Amino acid sequence: MSENASYYQRHIFFCLNQRDNGENCCADHNAQAAFDRCKARVKAEGLAGPGQVRVNKAGCLDRCAAGPVAVVYPEAVWYSYVDESDIDEIVESHLKNGKLVERLLTPPHLGR
């Protein structure tokens, strides 16, 4: 795919799934607050919009055991995060500068 075929340079999806059956889910780990923080930081950094970064909500991404999680495309890089400083680091390092945040990478074996 050519560079021009992508509408956004990077697209980050936050799992905001809520489970009512007591199973682990990202919504129980402040995923909405992380999504809101990321969206605000991307906008504040001037990174939002076509050709740049899009921050989106997602339903279950099926990586519940690693939650809360977010995934960045086109690199298909999965992150597990804990707090606002983790989100700030993802924005600054990966979304702004294209450098992975190694310490926040979701272990590949963790699924649902």
For residue range 13-39, what is the model confidence (pLDDT) as tens digits?
Answer: 999 999 888 788 999 999 999 999 999
CA distance 21 to 34: 23
- Going by pLDDT thresholds of 50, 70 and 90, the confidence category of residue 4 is low
Q: Does the model's pTM come out above 0.85?
A: yes
CB 18 within 8 A of CB 61: no
What are the pLDDT digits (tens) for 44-91?
999 999 999 999 999 999 998 898 999 999 999 999 999 999 999 999
* Residue extents of the structural domains in the chain: 3-104
- The yes/no answer on whether domain 3-104 falls in CATH 3.40.30.10 is yes
